[in-house]
Structure 1
Amino acid sequence: MADEDDLALDEDPPERDTATDDMFGAPAEPLAPVPVAGAAYTVLARKYRPRTFEDLIGQEAMVRTLTNAFASGRIAHAFMLTGVRGVGKTTTARLLARALNYETEVVHQPSLELGKEGRHCAAIIDGRHMDVLELDAASRTKVDEMRELLDGVRYAPTEARYKVYVIDEVHMLSTAAFNALLKTLEEPPPHAKFIFATTEIRKVPVTILSRCQRFDLRRVEPDILAAHLDKIASLEGARIDQDGLALLARAAEGSVRDGLSLLDQAIVQADAGQIVSAAVVRDMLGLADRAQTIALFEQVMRGETANALASFKALWGFGADPAQVMLDLLEHCHGSSVAKALGPEALTLPKDQAARLAGVGALASAGTLSRLWQMLLKAHDEVRRAPDPSAAAEMAIIRLCYAADLPGPEEALKALRDGEPVGGGGGGQSPAPSSGGGGVGAGGGFAQARMVQPTPRPAQETTPVLASFDDVLKLIEARRDIGLKLDVDRYMRPISFRPGAITFEPAPGAPSNLAGRLVKALKTWTGQPWLVAAEGGGGAETAWERQKREGREMRAEIEADPFVRTVMDAFPGAEIVEIRHAPAVEVEAAPEEADTETDE
């Protein structure tokens, strides 16, 4: 019996029937499948790393130089690749290592045509080729390690054509390590090639640079990077709004790797099949809407303190970082200055935004924009260090609006010399206080108080008299309404004008509320009602069309001048770049000689 019991204990217990109810009487649930871990996700920056030189974007000059060098056999023994992060330095170094050792059944010489995988390409890409050594200078900075590395240079390669040394972040090497490298770089063996990459080219000794062929990898332009991101998003099956792609390209600051990392983050902001909007991307990046910051910049330039503060509070409510708003204002100030000097085409912005910044630059002097730039630099530093960034940004905006109407040093000096009142400083919102020190801190307020006392001020501002459509344009410019001035110049083709009524033909792309905005502004400025109506056709040229036509006619007249034609013929290839009007020289009239003859 004992043996039978032992045998019974040795038997496996009966397996439970999964189809039966559990011990509490509930029906049995089907077993959930055990999740199987898939392959690790590869980020886009690694997944879409360029495999050929044709895949490199924004580096056409370097690729062209290398292509010609390889085709003619003039291959340098050392290359120095420099540029900001993420522009492709390490990728280019690996492609160069492949190109130097490229070999197929039909190709037996270095080649940049890497479309077909060569005999050594896979091993070089995987980093396991014996003759291609990729090193990180940050972890091998000592001179002993460099000497150990250089001891193997004199030995011939085992498999490939060249022994290639790829040293990343070469500026991290010590001075002794650089000195150990000098002799080998000056007289290298014919089978050795060196490829260096660095982000700090100024930290590399000149003695090293003079022994290398240097390539400066450029930042990728935003429009090129946006198109590249759009292509990769399509390959990934994601849909991102074009404005969102432009925001990503702008935030990447010319770095392809940064752009792909941001794209990786943006793709997961929406469900599969849905479009990731620009607003979502803006939220992800913590950016303010550029159109709203341009409107804020225009309000600051007009000195509209209340409107500017309301715009900033709206941006703050949407989650915009105050420091980022200051950076955007700095960018708009720079864009207005560049557009003033070179035109709106010089700005890498959408046409409407570039036109608005160009309008600000056209109405503001270069000195005003320069002073605003300095004030914004200080404001940005204050906002970053302030315990309450929002309050610091508001104080900076108040200061900027107050200073918008202040005259420059030259204008103030001239006004003081002539005994005229020094304008500005009111912020465009309220008259200056009659007492207190509010105006003294802005610079020149105390001098203004002393000089203005003997000069009586007019009781009220005279009502402007508008006798023609050109007077309307001058009034808008005098009132510094930048947005309205820009739209009227571009889209209003006047048909008829009489005091109180304007008829115009809208140009293509004209805003639908243009007539209403002009009516409201003219009623405020003149104090009388106006009728502004749009008709189908028959209008004259807009102010911009007239300006462009006059520019073309002037250019044609100058090009037809015999003297200019003689100069152009004497210098083949010369072209007229810019036409400037020379300032008129005032010539004092000679005093009339006294009549010495007497009447007979």
Structure 2
Amino acid sequence: MTYLVLARKWRPRSFDTLVGQDHVVRALTHALDTQRLHHAWLFTGTRGVGKTTLSRILAKSLNCETGITSKPCGVCQACTEIDAGRFVDYLELDAASNRGVEEMTQLLEQAVYAPGAGRFKVYMIDEVHMLTGHAFNAMLKTLEEPPPHVKFILATTDPQKIPVTVLSRCLQFNLKQMPPDAIVGHLQAVLGEEGIGFELPALRLIGQAAAGSMRDALSLTDQAIAYSAGNLTDEAVRGMLGTIDQRHLVRLLDALSGNDAKGVLAVADELAVRGLSYAGALADLAVLLSRVAIEQRVRGAVPPEDPLAADIARLAQSLHPDAVQLFYSVAVHSRGELTLAPDEYAGFVMACLRMLALNGDAGPQTALEAPAAPARQTADETAAAAAQPARPAVAAQAPVAQPVSPPSDAAPRPAESEPSGAAVASEPAPPAASAAPGRMAARPEAAAPATPQPAAPQPAAPQPAAPDIPPWEDAPRAAAPAPASEPPAAAAPSAPATPAMVASAPDGDDGPPAWVDEEIPDEAEGGYVPDSGFFSDPDDDFETLAAAPAPSSSAPAARRREPAAAPRRRGARSALADMTPAAWPELAARLPVTGLAAELARQSEWAGLQGDTIVLRVAVKTLAESESRVRLQTVLCEHFGQSVRLDVDVGATGEATAHAVAQAERAARQQAAEEAVAADPFVQALVADFGGRVVPGSVRHVDPPAA
């Protein structure tokens, strides 16, 4: 006996057994019950959604021996012959093979004759969009006013190719794609009748692979029955379809969220071993990410019976919404780039590594990232430097003041251990070429000349090594040394050396260099007290202090200077308190932010300061509600050197925004450019001699080059 495939064996025989097309069934049953019958119907939809099935049920309803009814009996001659495909008054035509005007003319010539066995002659033309233009024109008149005994049923998968003159003569019904739940329910009923064992996840996979087509779902079920030997398990169906196990994708997302590159490569290798499609993997990953994003916005959107419900809920909690959107975008775009990759494996791996890189992979330090110099010198380095012999000073070079290293646990070296001039003669002096540009050296007349001593060599005293220079320092500032007749001043035992503490320039200096942001006042204002080596202000939060050289008659009182990267907390508070609406545009224009955060800073104006809360006003509501406010708050905290909060109000803004200031400057430059062109002698000569004119809008100012 010939085996009948499930798609034909379980084709619906009545409107009651039709699945997934309730809107069409409702309209047709009401029309049949009320005898309001049209002469032409057009069924549109993708493959396998029931166009041919609906036409056969409708033909049985029109020709059933019990009368025109929405519930044909299914046992009379007309019903059985229509189901078997041999009813003389029901004719199914394939427009792809009968698309010419000759075939259409022959069909219409036969339509004028009365039916031989049924009540109506029903012509079902499948894929009607394949007819030629002449064939459509030939059938227009008959389609508009057919004989009373003729009914037309047209079916197509591409209604856009049908002329509107044909569409206007038909009742059009758009058949929907089958939802996966409807497919799974129908497959359960079919397999239950067939007595074949199955697992529900396996049917879900078939429903997803069918892509809305019930015929495809039944065909895949036939294939799965043969593949699994009559037992439709989840593993067997996955192996047959070559689909991705969702657990692999969950592991992949876990690895991506944890910046685990090894885990990502392990998942890619497993997919390669199983021979699965990487394009399908990216598509399934995008679907999973969309479900995670929906779960983040709508809690409980995933049904509890879904096998991935727990994993999706967990990923929705662990993944940031921005990361989900980023991963989704990379997965969708990388799927189209797989054809450009050397192979699918490389394309898939690079897509995953792109996700890690864009999400902020915390990898090892690169060559471009120089490690920060240590702020202090270790005891071993100090001892090694002390063991080196002292070099004689060069008389033509001014000695550079060196910060004093903190003494060790041993007793300080007495000053009587060497002559008073020996310390000056053996003081190491770096060459002038080694001084960093922009540093202020001591004046030659302010330093006592140092000449080599012809006396017998004496044991050199250990000299403190120069400390490592931090990233913000190029070289220690030069200062006038103490006179040669005076012994070197001993450092305060409680003041460790740091490169941030250097002596100031002597009188007559042009002021602090560009790298110094703030000058700390003397001890009267809470500054550094040279005698004790401590700050008099207990609120100062510096971790290290440095010893300054003792004051002398030839050098002014030492002042402490700070690097720009570490402003004093009290000065930062003062800068925040002194901020005004007029100063905000300049600050907003140079803040290190980009994107929406930069737009928020540029288009906002300073509304005030409430404690530690900065209040800005912006006219665009979307900027006030965007996540860029957090980024701008972080940058403001870094700029002012203290923790601040940022509130953004929505309201009208004036000219106190960086955007308005830039627009005003641009308008001023434009006006100046137009005035310069108008005042140009050559232009004036052209206007006067030749009747020329400057075309409005043709003058453009040139923006100044970026600093």
TM range (shorter): 0.5 to 0.7
Of the candidates 26, 30, 47, which is equivalent to residue 85 of structure 1? Answer: 47
Equivalent in the alignment of 1:130: 88
Structure 1 pair 145–343 and aligned structure 2 pair: CA distance change class (3 A): farther
Of the candidates 112, 118, 121, which is equivalent to residue 70 of structure 2? Answer: 112
Of the candidates 258, 265, 268, which is equivalent to residue 309 of structure 1? Answer: 265
Q: CA deviation at 1:392?
A: 1.8
Q: Deviations over 1:463-517 (max 9, x none)?
A: xxxxxxxxxxxxxxxxxxxxxxxxxxxxxxxxxxxxxxxxxxxxxxxxxxxxxxx
Q: CA deviation at 1:366?
A: 6.0
Letter in 1 for 2:166: I
Kindly indicate whether the alpha-carbon contact (under 8 Å) linking 2:180 and 2:208 is maintained by their aligned counterparts in 1. yes
Q: How does 1:292-303 map to 2 (within 5 A)?
A: 292-303=248-259
Structure 1 pair 123–301 and aligned structure 2 pair: CA distance change class (3 A): same
Kindly indicate whether the alpha-carbon contact (under 8 Å) linking 1:99 and 1:114 is maintained by their aligned counterparts in 2. yes
Equivalent in the alignment of 1:253: 211
Separation in 2 of the partners of 1:358 and 1:198?
A: 42
Equivalent in the alignment of 1:380: 335
Separation in 2 of the partners of 1:587 and 1:121?
A: 71
Of the candidates 110, 113, 134, which is equivalent to residue 176 of structure 1? Answer: 134
Q: CA deviation at 1:391?
A: 2.1
Kindly indicate whether the alpha-carbon contact (under 8 Å) linking 2:13 and 2:74 is maintained by their aligned counterparts in 1. no
Q: Deviations over 1:344-365 (max 9, x none)?
A: 52x5795452454455456666
Q: Deviations over 1:71-94 (max 9, x none)?
A: 111122111111111111111111
Separation in 2 of the partners of 1:289 and 1:112?
A: 45
Kindly indicate whether the alpha-carbon contact (under 8 Å) linking 2:326 and 2:355 is maintained by their aligned counterparts in 1. no
Q: CA deviation at 1:327?
A: 1.4
Q: Say if 2:175 is the partner of 1:217.
A: yes
Q: Say if 2:290 is the partner of 1:330.
A: no
Kindly indicate whether the alpha-carbon contact (under 8 Å) linking 2:6 and 2:218 is maintained by their aligned counterparts in 1. yes
Q: Deviations over 1:361-405 (max 9, x none)?
A: 5666666544433322331123345452122211111112212x2
Kindly indicate whether the alpha-carbon contact (under 8 Å) linking 2:120 and 2:149 is maintained by their aligned counterparts in 1. yes
Equivalent in the alignment of 1:284: 240
Kindly indicate whether the alpha-carbon contact (under 8 Å) linking 1:78 and 1:194 is maintained by their aligned counterparts in 2. yes
Q: CA deviation at 1:288?
A: 1.3
Separation in 2 of the partners of 1:161 and 1:200?
A: 31
Equivalent in the alignment of 1:408: none
Letter in 1 for 2:55: A
Separation in 1 of the partners of 2:650 and 2:34?
A: 65
Equivalent in the alignment of 1:569: none
Q: Deviations over 1:154-212 (max 9, x none)?
A: 22222211111100111111111112222222222221111111111222222212221
Q: Deviations over 1:189-245 (max 9, x none)?
A: 221111111111222222212221111111222122112112222222211111111
Equivalent in the alignment of 1:401: 356
Q: How does 1:188-587 map to 2 (within 5 A)?
A: 188-271=146-229, 275-345=231-301, 350-351=305-306, 353-354=308-309, 356-357=311-312, 360=315, 368-384=323-339, 386-403=341-358, 405=359, 424=360, 427-428=361-362, 430-435=363-368, 586=649
Separation in 1 of the partners of 2:325 and 2:160?
A: 30
Equivalent in the alignment of 1:61: 23
Separation in 2 of the partners of 1:209 and 1:289?
A: 45
* Displaced runs of 4 or more, over 6 A: 582-585
Structure 1 pair 394–350 and aligned structure 2 pair: CA distance change class (3 A): farther
Separation in 2 of the partners of 1:431 and 1:350?
A: 43
Letter in 2 for 1:168: D
Letter in 2 for 1:388: D
Instruction: Output the TM-score relative to the length of structure 2.
Output: 0.50
Letter in 2 for 1:141: R
Separation in 1 of the partners of 2:257 and 2:174?
A: 39
Structure scoring higher RCO (CA < 8 A, sep ≥ 6) equals 1
Kindly indicate whether the alpha-carbon contact (under 8 Å) linking 1:344 and 1:355 is maintained by their aligned counterparts in 2. no
Kindly indicate whether the alpha-carbon contact (under 8 Å) linking 1:269 and 1:280 is maintained by their aligned counterparts in 2. yes
Letter in 1 for 2:329: Q
> SS at 1:120's partner residue?
helix
> SS at 2:77's partner residue?
coil
Structure 1 pair 307–359 and aligned structure 2 pair: CA distance change class (3 A): same
Kindly indicate whether the alpha-carbon contact (under 8 Å) linking 1:132 and 1:165 is maintained by their aligned counterparts in 2. yes
> SS at 2:227's partner residue?
coil
Separation in 1 of the partners of 2:341 and 2:649?
A: 53
> SS at 1:311's partner residue?
helix
Q: Say if 2:13 is the partner of 1:51.
A: yes
Q: CA deviation at 1:326?
A: 1.2
Structure 1 pair 319–96 and aligned structure 2 pair: CA distance change class (3 A): same
Deviation larger for 123-132 or 333-342: 333-342
Equivalent in the alignment of 1:507: none
Structure 1 pair 348–174 and aligned structure 2 pair: CA distance change class (3 A): farther
Q: Deviations over 1:253-291 (max 9, x none)?
A: 11111111111111123345xx43201110011011112
Q: Aligned Cα RMSD in Å?
A: 2.8
Q: Say if 2:60 is the partner of 1:98.
A: yes
Structure showing greater radius of gyration is 2
Q: CA deviation at 1:137?
A: 0.4
Separation in 2 of the partners of 1:77 and 1:196?
A: 11
Separation in 2 of the partners of 1:286 and 1:83?
A: 27
Q: Deviations over 1:25-54 (max 9, x none)?
A: xxxxxxxxxxxxxx2221111111111121
Letter in 2 for 1:394: V
Q: CA deviation at 1:96?
A: 1.1
Separation in 2 of the partners of 1:85 and 1:141?
A: 20
Q: Deviations over 1:522-571 (max 9, x none)?
A: xxxxxxxxxxxxxxxxxxxxxxxxxxxxxxxxxxxxxxxxxxxxxxxxxx
Structure 1 pair 303–214 and aligned structure 2 pair: CA distance change class (3 A): farther
Structure 1 pair 290–349 and aligned structure 2 pair: CA distance change class (3 A): farther
> SS at 1:281's partner residue?
helix
Kindly indicate whether the alpha-carbon contact (under 8 Å) linking 1:157 and 1:191 is maintained by their aligned counterparts in 2. yes
Q: CA deviation at 1:118?
A: 2.5
Separation in 1 of the partners of 2:80 and 2:305?
A: 43
Kindly indicate whether the alpha-carbon contact (under 8 Å) linking 1:78 and 1:212 is maintained by their aligned counterparts in 2. yes
Structure 1 pair 340–175 and aligned structure 2 pair: CA distance change class (3 A): farther
Separation in 1 of the partners of 2:111 and 2:650?
A: 78
> SS at 2:228's partner residue?
coil
Q: Say if 2:106 is the partner of 1:155.
A: no
Q: Deviations over 1:287-330 (max 9, x none)?
A: 11112213313433444322222122223323322221111112
Structure 1 pair 229–78 and aligned structure 2 pair: CA distance change class (3 A): same
Kindly indicate whether the alpha-carbon contact (under 8 Å) linking 2:64 and 2:73 is maintained by their aligned counterparts in 1. no
Deviation larger for 117-126 or 213-222: 117-126
Separation in 2 of the partners of 1:432 and 1:327?
A: 34
> SS at 1:133's partner residue?
strand
Unaligned runs of 5+ in 2: 370-470, 473-624, 627-646, 652-707
Structure 1 pair 72–401 and aligned structure 2 pair: CA distance change class (3 A): same
Q: Which structure is higher in helix share?
A: 1
Letter in 2 for 1:226: V
Question: What is the percentage of aligned positions where both structures have the same residue?
Answer: 39
> SS at 2:172's partner residue?
strand
Structure 1 pair 348–185 and aligned structure 2 pair: CA distance change class (3 A): farther
